[in-house]
Structure 1
Amino acid sequence: MMSRRALLSVSALSVLTAACSPLGVLNGANRLTPGDGGVKRIVDGAAFGSDPRQRLDVWAPENATASLPVIVFFYGGSWKSGDRDGYGFAARALAARGFVVVVPDYRLVPQIRWPAFVEDGAAAMQWVAANIAAHGGDPGRIGVVGHSAGAHIALLLALDRRWGVADSIKAAVGLAGPYDFRPFEPGGAAEAALGNAPDLSDTQPIHFARADAPALLLLHGDEDTTVKPRNSTRLANAVTDLGGRATTRLYPGIGHIGILLALSKPFRGKAPVLEDASEFLLAQLTP
């Protein structure tokens, strides 16, 4: 008969090997690491549009007795990859801190180009405003969080009123986001996703900096060579120069993926990303 330790090892191995993607492996390891208990996915694949990519999940603390602040989390992937199933570790982490967390998918390049993924983000936000109260969330206390291309989407929604949801967003946290990144690298992901825009300045969150923007927390690793930290510092400076509220924090020794991994239990000690983001959002989304 196998020992308890051996059984646990077999269980851990089966979880990890069943997940074929790096994010799947991370989610498996995250589930096996203690912490973030009392959280469950309460909505799986709700439609906010007719396309198969226009679906979202909702995560929440179990046994919540009051309406909770809401976070809409947009994942990255250079506007061309990603799906909500890979980000359960991020949703669990944030929900365990007292939020209802929504993770939407959105259409990707090459199926679409600018501005379809931002339109999908806006449609997801509209679903949240209309439906989140039925799932324990407060539609008057909504914040957004995004990583990389997801931070680009989140900050455009928060800053640019043309998408129709900016006034419902009370706070925004960007993780390693591209906010001021022209000119595009020829043949690169930004050109593929955004290069068709009639006015390229419309693709840049910094173009929409304003004094009455929601409070911003822009987090970045100082060793990020994929999206340079200057994106965060320039956007924060643009907002504060106008009299708005924006803070930047740079984490030493952290790269582009490391700042996302720091939300997961196995890598949480690398940088206080979860603590900084959740404390900021709780403060900003307090009634």
Structure 2
Amino acid sequence: MARPYRLLAVGVPLLLLALAACAPLKTLNALSPGGASECIEGVAYGEGPRRKLDVYRPRDLRGPAPVVVFFYGGNWVGGARDDYAFVGRALASRGIVAVIADYRLHPEVSYPDFLRDAAQAVAWAAREAARYGGDPKRLFVMGHSAGAYNAAMVALDPRWLGEQGMRPASLRGWIGLAGPYDFLPIENPTTKPVFHFPDTPTDSQPIHHVRAGAPPALLIAAAKDKLVEPARNTGQLAALLRAQQVPVQENYYDSVRHTTLVATIAAPLRWLAPTLDEVAAFVLKPPA
């Protein structure tokens, strides 16, 4: 009887991966339980259809909870907040109020307009989180891929939160999943017009904004990422932060790739990497 169970243990994960390969985000949302959370959809944090967000809060809130504002990837040309319901549900299941925010994309806008949107969404969370059971004094920003770049710039470059009357010190910490933090000269043809190549400003790169007193960071990457080189981006940024005495946790996972890293937050794929566990631990008990 042991052999069928072994086959099932192997076959179910493979089936999930096959489904995810066909329609990854919709599949993950469909297979991710939402019973532990409730969602408030389509809340405007600014003008226009791309400046809206969804709030996921735990159903059994017993006091103000930490707040995470999440930005998805998509090379600044694609993505939608409702595709990442699995992130909101997962964070809420760990006692966190999650804010999944849209932001304007190219060609409607280019650098740095989407950073202004990101900062505006974070400022909304600082003002309004208490209405949804969140604690604005425990505010984090998080992102994957291009969204991790947005999170890094909001957390490190004071210009963007400064326009909202805030400072990076207003954040309790930030989380980057497979983020591009040093990508000049730009090689990806899709990214070039987003950042005005060949006239891309040097200060568009997060590595140039590392300074003492920056918020603590959790940086996670796929060890074999072929899209965003982990040593140059995650490793270099972590080293620069440590040199400035900024608390930083740095993790690399062998069993994931660039796109599947964020997918491991969803219940069906958590066996691939402990991404959700690491994020929840960092948010619930961040370093001093």
Which bracket does the TM-score occupy, shorter chain normalised? 0.7 to 0.9
Report the CA distance between 1:198 and its aligned residue. 6.0
In 2, Cα distance between equivalents of 1:201 and 1:44: 37
1:208 aligns to 2:209 (yes or no)? yes
Shift, 1:253, TM fit: 2.9
- 1:109-162 per-residue CA deviation (whole Å, 9 max, x = no partner) reads 111101111000011111111111111001111011100000000010000111
Q: Partner of 1:171 in structure 2?
A: 173
Please tell me whether the aligned partners of residues 197 and 203 of structure 1 are also in contact (alpha carbons under 8 angstroms). Answer: no
C-alpha separation in 1, matches of 2:35 and 2:198: 44
Shift of 1:201: 1.8
Separation of aligned partners in 1, 2:66 and 2:111: 30
Partner residue, 1:22:
24
CA RMSD of aligned residues (A): 1.9
Q: Give the Å deviation of 1:197.
A: 9.0
SS in 1 for 2:79: coil
Letter in 2 for 1:38: A
TM-score for both structures, normalised by structure 2: 0.86
Match of 1:103 in 2: 100
Unaligned stretches of 5+ in structure 2?
Answer: 1-18
Question: For the residues of structure 1 that align with 2:141 and 2:220, how far apart are their CA atoms?
Answer: 13
| Residues 36 and 89, structure 2, Cα contact 8 Å, conserved in 1 | no
Q: TM-score if structure 1 supplies the norm length?
A: 0.87
**Residues 169, 213 of structure 2: 8 Å contact kept:** no
Determine the C-alpha separation between the residues in 1 that align with 2:215 and 2:44. 27
Q: 1:285 to 1:54 in 2, by over 3 A?
A: farther
Query: Of residues 74, 79, 85 in structure 1, which corresponds to 2:76?
Result: 79
Residue aligning to 2:59? 62
Residue 21 of structure 1 deviates from its aligned partner by 4.8
User: 2:278 is matched with which residue?
Assistant: 276
Shift of 1:217: 0.9
Shift of 1:190: 2.5
User: Does structure 2 retain, via aligned residues, the 8 Å contact 1:69–1:285?
Assistant: no
Amino acid at match of 1:227: V
Q: 1:221, 1:183 → 2: CA distance? A: 22
Who is 2:237 aligned against?
Answer: 235
Superposition deviation, residue 225 in structure 1 = 0.3
What residue ranges of structure 1 are gaps of 5+ in the alignment? 1-16
| Contact 1:75–1:148 (8 Å) recurs in 2 | yes
Counterpart of 1:3 in structure 2 is none
* 1:220–1:249 contact (8 Å) kept in structure 2: yes
Query: Residue type of the partner of 1:137?
Result: G
Match of 2:248 among 241, 246, 267: 246
Change (3 A) 1:285 1:102: farther
Task: Give the counterpart letter for 1:60 in structure 2.
Answer: R
State the match for 1:143 in structure 2: 140
Q: Given that residues 114 and 197 in structure 1 are in contact (C-alpha distance below 8 angstroms), is that contact kept between their aligned partners in structure 2?
A: no
Q: Quick one: structure 1 residues 169 and 196, their matched pair in 2 at CA, closer, same or farther if it must change by over 3 Å?
A: farther
Counterpart contact for 2:36–2:92, Cα < 8 Å = no
Question: What is the CA distance between 1:22 and its match in structure 2?
Answer: 3.2
Q: Deviations over 1:134-193 (max 9, x none)?
A: 1100111101110000000001000011112422211111000000111101x6233121
Does residue 194 of the first structure (1) align with residue 195 of the second (2)?
A: yes
Q: Is the 8 A contact 2:178 2:222 kept in 1?
A: yes
SS of residue matched to 1:73: strand
Matched to 1:224, the amino acid is D
Aligned equivalents of 1:63 and 1:94: distance in 2?
13
**How many corresponding residue pairs?**
262
After the TM superposition, which residues 113-128 of structure 1 pair with which residues of structure 2 at under 5 Å, given as runs?
113-128=110-125
